[in-house]
Amino acid sequence: MNLQDLIALKEKALNEAQTAADAAALEAVRIAYLGRKGKLPEIMQELRNVSPEERPMFGKTANELKNELTDIIKAKQSSFSDGRAAAAGFDLTQPGQWQGLGTRHPITQITDRITQIFQTLGFTVADGPDVETVWNNFDALNTPADHPSRDEQDTFYLKNGDLMRCHTSPVQVRYMMAHKPPVRIISPGRCYRRDTPDATHSANFHQVEGLFVDEHVSLADLKGTLSYFARELMGPNVKVRFRPHFFPFTEPSVEVDFTCHVCQGKGCRVCKNSGWIEILGAGMVDPNVFSAVGYDSSTLSGFAFGMGIERITMILYGIHDIRNLYENDVRFLSQF
């Protein structure tokens, strides 16, 4: 091919692109000339056979063919797209509709807030698997063999003998077995129990548990830590009440109440006129737990605590049905 043949081919290609009647015809022109097996790649291969006198002009014309044809095809493709949009009833002159950004789920917001508070006290975040061994979930936590929580009616067991963790306490076991004291961690995460879903119960829920182990840790340290947490979460005027209780993995054990955030302790429907709302359970780590993980209970002591995130979320946001948190109704979640 010489220069004159290339000029004629250029005019032919541009004319075909200009006169293409629809998108399919335009695509056929693009493939015929610019495709991997099209005419333009063949022309570039012929460049080495062109005489030295014509080679500069030949190369320039080939580049002009490529650039001009590409511009025409892009412009025509845009016009065809506009035409299809107009035919479909779209007004392309109107500004786009802004889709608002999503927000964090209320459970995520409360989890982050709780985590932030304890991090200011030097706690770090530890994580563990949802599928746990019986030893980590029950045995190492001093849970008796006949404890009701071990029953199949309360716990999700797997065919291999493992289970879906009932609480995030197994994270504490795993962490203590992998780290030497002192230990100061919190462990937020999902938990699973065979509860019948209703307004206040779910088979899948979230907890945040904490653990502090060192020399000379006392119940006073536990009370001071949780009192600080209460003020940071609920406000400076909140009061805290510790009531004796029983948990297999702590001794002594306490349940912790905060003054009602609605009535400020005066008594109302939310707190059943008691002025108090139960928030969490806590206690001093039982020496049997230390023995299970290889800690020396004669020199070490510690406290542990745990709370349900859904319960705190419902209290702070005035949510009356826990199922609202899981039904993914945008009208509900957009409030947060």
For 14, the domain range is: 3-87
100 belongs to a structural domain: no
Higher pLDDT, 323 or 81: 323
93 belongs to a structural domain: no
In a shared domain, residues 11 and 149 = no
Give the range with max mean pLDDT: 63-72, 140-149, 320-329: 140-149
The string of pLDDT tens digits covering residues 28-37 is: 888 888 887 8
Cβ of 30: how many Cβ atoms within 10 Å? 21
In a shared domain, residues 207 and 177 = yes
Distance CA 3, CA 149 (A): 89
In a shared domain, residues 264 and 202 = yes
In a shared domain, residues 82 and 117 = no
Domain boundary (55, 87, 119) is at 87
In a shared domain, residues 177 and 32 = no
Question: Residues 243-270: what's their mean pLDDT?
Answer: 87
Backbone angles phi, psi at 144, to 5 degrees: -60, 155
The string of pLDDT tens digits covering residues 55-72 is: 788 778 878 878 888 888
Number of domains making up the chain:
2
In a shared domain, residues 176 and 27 = no
Note the pTM of the prediction, 2 decimals: 0.68
9 belongs to a structural domain: yes
Distance CA 119, CA 122 (A): 5
In a shared domain, residues 201 and 328 = yes
What proportion of the chain, given as a percentage, has pLDDT over 70? 96
Q: Which of 280, 279, 282, 278 is nearest to 305 (CA)?
A: 282
Q: Which of 121, 96, 85, 74 is nearest to 232 (CA)?
A: 121
pLDDT of residue 89: 58
In a shared domain, residues 137 and 271 = yes
The string of pLDDT tens digits covering residues 93-131 is: 777 777 777 788 999 999 999 999 999 999 999 999 999
